[in-house]
Structure 1
Amino acid sequence: MEGEMEKLECRDEILAITKKLVGIRSEVNTEGERALAETVHDMLKSHPYFEANPSQLVMEPTVNDERERYNVMAYVKGTKGNSNRTVVLMGHMDTVGVEDFGVHQELAFKPDEWKAHLKSEPLPETVQTQAASDDWMFGRGVLDMKSGVASNLYLLSHYASNPELLEGNLVLIVECDEEDGSHGILSALKTLKRWQAEEGFDYVAAINADFVAPAYAGDENRYIYKGTVGKLLPSFFITGEETHVGSAFDGLDPNFIAAELTRQISYNPGLSDMAFGEATLPPVSLKQTDLKPNYTVQTALSAYVYYNFFVHSWSPEKVLELLKEQAHIAFRNALDTFEARYRKYNGISDGQENTIQWEPRVYTYDEMEELLKETHGEVYVQHMNAFKEKLEQDESLDSRMLAARVVEEAWQFMPDKRPAIIVFYSSLYSPRVALKGEDENERTLLDALDKAIEAVQPEYEHPIVAKNFFPHISDMSFVAMSDDMPEIDDMIRNTPSWGKKLSVEYQDVADLNIPVINIGPYGMDGHKRLERMEMTYSLEMVPNLTNRVIRHVLESE
C-alpha cells in the first residue's frame, strides 16, 4: 500500500491556508484566539461535506477557563468499509506575542512584507540566505504552528471531499491556549470522550503538528518524534534563622541555602533523565527569591526557588525523591561552608566561636502536611482550607506564588522551626509520553511511521529522522501519558496550589490514552523575531508523511 499511495500535490493550497491563518493575530490570552477560531470554523463550514453533516463540525468554548475562547473540532467518517478506527489530528492556533518585533509588530502577520523588510536589515549569513530564498517564510506563527494547522486542515478537507478513500474516521482538533495553560486540549478531551460514546470511535493514534527545529548548529535532520518529554516545576520553600546583619553568624540566611541549592541542581547532568538513549536537558532555575515583603536589616525568614524539570521515564514521585536527596546534599554543603567561614572569621576577629546547632532537614510537602494534621488535627485543616480559599480570590497570584504562600502559612504550624527545606510542585504537570510498542495500537503507529519515512525520504534531500521524545512542552502531553493514576495522585498531594487556580482532570487523559507522535513543520527561531519555516518540507513532506501514517494506521487490523 505504501509505495502505491498517490502523492498529494498540496503545496500551494497549504501555503494559501498558512498565509490566511498567519494574517489573523491570535496571540495567547487575547481576543485573537476567538477571531481565529471563528475563521477556521467558517473555512470548514463552507465545505460541502460539513454543509451536509453540520453536526460533525463544532466550535466549542473551553471549560474552567477565565477567558472566552474556543476550540474548533470536526470529524470525517470514511465510507471505505465500516471500521471504527479513528485517527486524531491536532494543532494549536495561538501564538506567543510580538513584542520582540518592536515598531514592526504589524509586519509580523504579513509574511511577504516582513520578508521584504528583513532583506534591508543586517542579518546573520544563514538568515540572509534564507531571506533571499523562495523556500523560506518568515513571520509570527508561520512555524509555531500555523503551517502545521494548515496541513491538518488540508488533510481533513481532502478526506471530506473523498470519504471513499478513508477506511475509518479522521478527527481534527484546532485548539487554543497551548502557549499558556492548555485549556484548549484539556477541554477538547471532553468532546473526544463524548464522540467516543456517541459515535463508537476507537481512537488508535494521534498526530500532532508542532514545529521541529535543528538540534544543534549545522544539524540537517528533519525530526519526527514518537512521544514527548514531560515537564514538572519542582519548588523549594527554604527557612533559615533570622538575625540582625550586625550579628550575621547568629542566624542562618535562607538565601545562602537557596544559592547552594541552585548550584547543586541547575545544569546538573546527574538530573537528566535518560531513556531510549535520549537524555533530557538538566533542570535550570526559573525563579530564586526571598519572601521578605520589604527592606529591613534582618536577614530573611524564608526563600523560594523553582526549577524547570524535564522527564522521559521518571514519575513525579521519583523526581521528588531525587530532589529531596539533592536538597539534603545542598543543605549539608551550605552548613559546612557556613561553619568553615565562621571559624575563619573568628580567627581574624578574636571572636568567641559558638557551636553550630543546625542539621539538614528536608520534607516533601505531603510529609509536612501529614505531620501537621497529626499534631494539630482539624484546627489546622480548617485554617488552611480557609486561608487557601482566600488566596484563590487574589487574581494577582499565579499558581506558583500561591503555592509558596500556602507552604509559608503551613510552616507557621510547625512545632520545630529550625531551618528546613520543603519540596513540592507549584505548576501544571505536562505528562511524559513514551511509545514503547507495548500494545497493538503503539506497534501499528510505530510501524506506520517507519513505512511513511521510508516512502517519502527519496522525495526529499535532507534526512528525515525519528526520535523518541519531542523536546518541548506541547499538547501531546494531554492525549496520552505514561504515568499511572497513583503516581498522578502523589503529584497532586505535593502540589499546594491544586484547586481553583490549578486543576487538571488527568483521568480524562488516562481514559483516552491515545498513542501520539509529532510530524510538524521544519524551521528555526520559533518564539523569536526571526521565526521562519522551510516550505518544501513543511508544505509537502509533512502532509504526505502524515497522510501515509493515517492510511496505514486506519487500514491495519
Structure 2
Amino acid sequence: MEQLKWATPDQLRTLLCELVSWESRTFTEGECAFAYKVEEKLRELEYFNQHPQYLTLHDAGSGRNVVTALYKHQEAKETIVLISHFDTVQTEEYGDLEPYACQPEKLTARLHSRKNELPLDARTDLESGQYLFGRGTMDMKMGLALHMALLEKATVENWPINLLLATVPDEEVSSAGMRVCVKELVKMKETFDLSYVLFLNSEPSFSQKPGDEKRYIYTGTMGKIMPAALFYGKETHVGESLSGITANYIASYMTQLMEWNEAFREIDLGEATPLPVTLQQKDLQLQYSAQTPYRAAALYNVFLMKRSAADIMNVFEQVANEAANHCNKAYSELCKREHMQGVGSVKVLKYEELLVHAEKKYGEAFIANLKNEVEANIQWDEREKSIRLADKLMTQCQELAPAIILLFAPPYYPAVNSSTDPHIKKSVTLLQKVADTHQIEMNQIHYFNGICDLSYVNYQGTTQDWEVFERNTPVWGSCYSIPFEAMQELQAPVLNVGPFGKDAHKKTERLHIESAFIQTPVMLESLVKSLFQVVSA
C-alpha cells in the first residue's frame, strides 16, 4: 500500500506550514501562483499520476484558477464536495514582523520576545504553547490541508465514495473563484456521472463573542447583500447655499434610518442576523471647490437568513421613502423659514427605473457607451463602478433630481441552511459523539457567522428573486454576475466543520494545534465514513 504523506499530526503540520508559506493575499501574484503549487502538490499522489484527468485548473479570471481534484471510486456515484478557499487578507498589520506573517513556526517563535505587545488573550494563548500563529493558519489553509489529507487517504484506502476537492481564490473579496467553481461542478456532475450528497466546507470554528472558547459545527451560512444609494441633489455656490440642496443633507436622513434598523433583522432557529451598518458614505466630487457637493453615495451591509434580494429591496425602498419624507418635511420647513421656493421634493427611484428613463431619453446605444466608459476604468472595483454608473445616468437625467437612487452593489451571498436535513442531523450527532471522545463539547450553529462560499450551492430562491437583483445591479453581466441557474442544480445539504482558531484577519490570527492536527481530522474522517452507509443503502 502506498505510504501516506499527510496522515500524522506532524505531517499535517508540515503540510499546513508549506501551504501558508505560499503567500496568497487576494489580488496578488501569490494568489495567482497558489493554484499551480497545489496542483503540483497533489500530483505527488500516485492516484493523480494514474488518473491525470481528475486533477484540473479552471480559469477564474485575473490570472487566478480554481483547483478541482476528484477521487472517483469505480462503483460509486455519490460524491462529497470538499470546498475551501486559499486566498488570505493582507498582512500590513504585522509591521516589522510582516516577513514572518506567512512563516507560522518562525512567527510563533519570534512572538515570544514580543509577547508584551500582544493583547492579554493572545499572550496567554502564545504562552500556553497550544497555538500556531500566522496569516492563513486559521482562515483557512488548515481547512485545505485537512481536505488534502482526506483525499489522499481515500485514494490509498479505496474508500467506497467519491470525494471532489474544490479550492478557490478570491473568497475574501467577491468570491469570483466560487462563482466560477459552481459552473464547473455542474459540468463535472454530468461528465463523471456524479451525484452530490454533501457540500462540506472546513472554515474554522469562530468565537461567537470575545473570550468564547466553545467549538462549533455549522449547518448553514448567513447571507450578505449590499443595498446602496446614490444621492443626487442640486448644485450651487456655497455663497448661495439656499439655491441648491446638498447630497449630504439628503444622505443624512437615509443613513440615520439604515444604521441598526431592526426592519432588516431576521430571526431563525433561535439565531439573529447582526443589524445593518453603513460600510461606506462619501460625496462623489473629484476635487475640492466652492461648489456644493450635490452627488453622494452610501453602501449598507445587510445580513440575510430567509430573505431574498427582492425582499431586501422592498424593505430598502420603504426605508428610503421614509427618509425622503423626513427630509422633505424638514426642507419644506426650512424653505418657509427662509421665504424661498426651494428646488423640489426628494424622489425615490430604483436603479431599474432610472435606467428605463435614461434609455427612453437617449436610446440604448448612448447608454451602452456610458456603461462601457465606466467599466473600462481599471481604478474602480465593482462597488465603485456600480455607484459611478448610476451617477453617470443621473447626470444625464438631472430633471429627476433631487433624488435617492436605490441599487445593489456586489457582492451578494445568498443564505443557505440544512439544519432540518435528516442526514445533517445524523452527522451533527455523530460529530458530537466523536468530539466527546476528545473531551470536547461541539455546539451546533445554524448559520455560520461569517461569509462563506457555501452560499453558492443549494440555492432555494426563485427566478423572480434573482431578477430583482440583476435589474438593480448596475454592473450585472459585465464585471459581476452570479450563476443562479447553476446554483439551483447543486442541490445537496451543506455542512461546515473546521478547526478551532482565533482572531481571523488580525495580526494575532492563530490556530489551535490539537484541534487542527488531532481532533478535527478524526471528526472529518468519521463523518465521511458514516456516509459510506448512505451510499450502500
Report the TM range for the smaller structure's normalisation: over 0.9
Residue 43 of structure 2: aligned partner: 45
Does 2:422 match 1:443?
yes
Residue 254 of structure 2: aligned partner: 261
Residue 129 of structure 1: aligned partner: 124
Deviates more, 1:116-125 or 1:420-429: 116-125
Report the 3-state secondary structure (helix = DSSP H, G, I; strand = E; otherwise coil) of the residue aligned with 1:256.
helix
Does 2:403 match 1:420?
yes
* Alpha-carbon distance between aligned partners in 1 of 2:326 and 2:200, rounded to the nearest angstrom: 47
Residue 311 of structure 1: aligned partner: 304
Does 2:231 match 1:238?
yes
CA apart distance, 1:136: 0.6
Q: Which amino acid aligns with 2:180?
A: S
Q: Which amino acid aligns with 2:15?
A: I
Residue 12 of structure 2: aligned partner: 14
The 5 Å alignment of 1:164-243 reads 166-243=159-236
Instruction: Pick one of 59, 62, 71 that aligns with 2:59.
Output: 62
Instruction: Pick one of 380, 388, 391 that aligns with 1:397.
Output: 380
Report the 3-state secondary structure (helix = DSSP H, G, I; strand = E; otherwise coil) of the residue aligned with 1:62.
strand
* Alpha-carbon distance between aligned partners in 1 of 2:438 and 2:329, rounded to the nearest angstrom: 59
* Alpha-carbon distance between aligned partners in 1 of 2:30 and 2:353, rounded to the nearest angstrom: 44
Does 2:521 match 1:543?
yes
Report the 3-state secondary structure (helix = DSSP H, G, I; strand = E; otherwise coil) of the residue aligned with 1:71.
strand
Q: 1:380 to 1:364 in 2, by over 3 A?
A: same
Report the 3-state secondary structure (helix = DSSP H, G, I; strand = E; otherwise coil) of the residue aligned with 1:27.
coil
CA apart distance, 1:476: 1.2
The 5 Å alignment of 1:32-111 reads 32-58=30-56, 60-63=57-60, 65=61, 67-78=62-73, 82-111=75-104
CA apart distance, 1:342: 6.0
Report the 3-state secondary structure (helix = DSSP H, G, I; strand = E; otherwise coil) of the residue aligned with 1:456.
helix
* Alpha-carbon distance between aligned partners in 2 of 1:264 and 1:251, rounded to the nearest angstrom: 23
Report the 3-state secondary structure (helix = DSSP H, G, I; strand = E; otherwise coil) of the residue aligned with 1:526.
coil
* Residues 244 and 342 in structure 2, CA contact (< 8 A), matched pair in contact too: no
Report the 3-state secondary structure (helix = DSSP H, G, I; strand = E; otherwise coil) of the residue aligned with 2:400.
coil
CA apart distance, 1:243: 2.8
Q: Which amino acid aligns with 2:411?
A: L
Structure 1 stretches lacking a partner, 5+ long: 1-7, 347-351
* Residues 226 and 517 in structure 1, CA contact (< 8 A), matched pair in contact too: yes
* Alpha-carbon distance between aligned partners in 2 of 1:109 and 1:291, rounded to the nearest angstrom: 38
* Residues 418 and 424 in structure 2, CA contact (< 8 A), matched pair in contact too: no
CA apart distance, 1:244: 2.7
CA apart distance, 1:457: 2.6
The 5 Å alignment of 1:526-537 reads 526-537=504-515
Instruction: Pick one of 135, 140, 144 that aligns with 2:139.
Output: 144
Residue 331 of structure 1: aligned partner: 324
* Alpha-carbon distance between aligned partners in 2 of 1:94 and 1:9, rounded to the nearest angstrom: 24
Q: Which amino acid aligns with 1:366?
A: E
| CA deviation profile, 1:54-85 (whole Å, cap 9, x unmatched) | 22222x1424x1x2122222122236xx3311
Report the 3-state secondary structure (helix = DSSP H, G, I; strand = E; otherwise coil) of the residue aligned with 1:120.
helix
Report the 3-state secondary structure (helix = DSSP H, G, I; strand = E; otherwise coil) of the residue aligned with 1:555.
helix
Q: Structure 2 length as normaliser, TM-score? A: 0.92
CA apart distance, 1:355: 5.5
The 5 Å alignment of 1:347-426 reads 353-354=339-340, 358-373=344-359, 375-376=360-361, 379-414=362-397, 416-426=399-409
Q: 1:28 to 1:293 in 2, by over 3 A?
A: closer
CA apart distance, 1:509: 1.5
CA apart distance, 1:119: 1.4
* Residues 11 and 540 in structure 1, CA contact (< 8 A), matched pair in contact too: yes
* Alpha-carbon distance between aligned partners in 2 of 1:380 and 1:141, rounded to the nearest angstrom: 49
* Alpha-carbon distance between aligned partners in 2 of 1:126 and 1:436, rounded to the nearest angstrom: 33
* Alpha-carbon distance between aligned partners in 1 of 2:49 and 2:387, rounded to the nearest angstrom: 52
Instruction: Pick one of 457, 462, 470 that aligns with 1:492.
Output: 470
Structure 2 stretches lacking a partner, 5+ long: 1-5
Q: Which amino acid aligns with 2:416?
A: V
* Alpha-carbon distance between aligned partners in 2 of 1:48 and 1:296, rounded to the nearest angstrom: 67
Does 2:152 match 1:154?
no
Deviates more, 1:530-539 or 1:415-424: 415-424
* Residues 419 and 446 in structure 2, CA contact (< 8 A), matched pair in contact too: no
| CA deviation profile, 1:427-479 (whole Å, cap 9, x unmatched) | 13122112253xxxx432332222222x2131234421111111211211122
* Alpha-carbon distance between aligned partners in 2 of 1:72 and 1:499, rounded to the nearest angstrom: 24
Instruction: Pick one of 269, 275, 278 that aligns with 1:282.
Output: 275
Does 2:521 match 1:524?
no
- RMSD, matched Cα: 2.2
* Residues 432 and 482 in structure 1, CA contact (< 8 A), matched pair in contact too: no
CA apart distance, 1:9: 7.2
* Alpha-carbon distance between aligned partners in 1 of 2:383 and 2:267, rounded to the nearest angstrom: 27
Q: Which amino acid aligns with 1:421?
A: I
* Residues 222 and 304 in structure 2, CA contact (< 8 A), matched pair in contact too: yes
**Number of residue equivalences:** 528
CA apart distance, 1:380: 2.6
Q: Which amino acid aligns with 1:62?
A: D
| CA deviation profile, 1:372-425 (whole Å, cap 9, x unmatched) | 44x43xx43221111112222221122222222221232245474341111001
* Residues 9 and 540 in structure 1, CA contact (< 8 A), matched pair in contact too: no
* Alpha-carbon distance between aligned partners in 1 of 2:286 and 2:87, rounded to the nearest angstrom: 36
CA apart distance, 1:137: 0.5
* Alpha-carbon distance between aligned partners in 1 of 2:86 and 2:335, rounded to the nearest angstrom: 57
* Residues 243 and 343 in structure 2, CA contact (< 8 A), matched pair in contact too: no
Give the % identical residues. 28
* Alpha-carbon distance between aligned partners in 1 of 2:169 and 2:7, rounded to the nearest angstrom: 29
Q: 1:280 to 1:35 in 2, by over 3 A?
A: same
CA apart distance, 1:37: 2.3
| CA deviation profile, 1:165-215 (whole Å, cap 9, x unmatched) | x22211111222222232322232333223211221001111111122211
CA apart distance, 1:526: 0.6
Instruction: Pick one of 106, 111, 115 that aligns with 2:108.
Output: 115
| CA deviation profile, 1:337-392 (whole Å, cap 9, x unmatched) | 4455666xx5xxxxx5235674342111123333444x43xx43221111112222
* Residues 431 and 478 in structure 1, CA contact (< 8 A), matched pair in contact too: yes
Deviates more, 1:220-229 or 1:147-156: 220-229
